[in-house]
Amino acid sequence: MFNQRNFHTLFVVTMSLIFTFIMSAILTFVFVGFSEHYFIEWMQDWAVAFVIAVVLNSFIPEMIQARIKGMSHPVIRYAAIAALINTIILSFALVSFALRGWSNPQFLEFWLLHAWPVAMVSAFLINLVLPKLVGRFVSEHLIKKEVVA
């Protein structure tokens, strides 16, 4: 068990782990379909996405929440903005990784017409529910409860 000071780090790592696991599975399917190499490709994509997401999730959520504070529909606004930022960066990186570089002539078309739209819709839906679920999970299962004497 961890103490309350570790909440942010635990939240970032857990959120990144689950988010990238789902997103990399979806994008790997877009890249290769359910082929014999799907699982290997998925795990390679997940490893790349996880590292990027941990860095992004270390500072982006606070920036978004500071900007939308006091606005109507904050959960929807947060989900849309977080999905936009994360999917532009993650889908760019994963397509680059899958096509062995962004200089590939098919890169731009595949990224903008196939990978990014799927990633954006998926990430928006995930960001509507996952942050609250991860926050609850970390609070209830990973953070040590203070005993009041």
How far apart CA 71 and CA 48 sit, in angstroms, is: 34
What are the distances in angstroms from CA 138 to CA 11, 66, 141, 147? 6, 22, 5, 18
Select from 47, 30, 46, 29 the least CA-distant residue to 38.
29
pLDDT at position 149 is: 59
Q: 81, 68 in Cβ contact below 8 A? A: yes
How far apart CA 97 and CA 94 sit, in angstroms, is: 5
pLDDT at position 147 is: 60
Per DSSP, the residues of 56-91 read HHHHHHHHHHHHHTT-SSHHHHHHHHHHHHHHHHHH
Per DSSP, the three-state class of 143 is: strand
What are the distances in angstroms from CA 8 to CA 49, 94, 142? 19, 26, 12
pLDDT at position 145 is: 73
pLDDT at position 95 is: 85
How far apart CA 113 and CA 97 sit, in angstroms, is: 17
φ/ψ of residue 2, rounded to 5: -115, 160
pLDDT at position 54 is: 92
pLDDT at position 46 is: 92
Amino acid letter, residue 2: F
Chain center to CA of 72 = 24
pLDDT by 10s per residue, the chain, length 149: 677 777 888 899 999 999 999 999 998 888 888 888 899 989 998 999 999 999 988 888 888 888 888 878 888 888 888 888 888 888 888 888 887 777 888 888 888 888 889 989 998 998 889 988 998 998 888 887 766 65
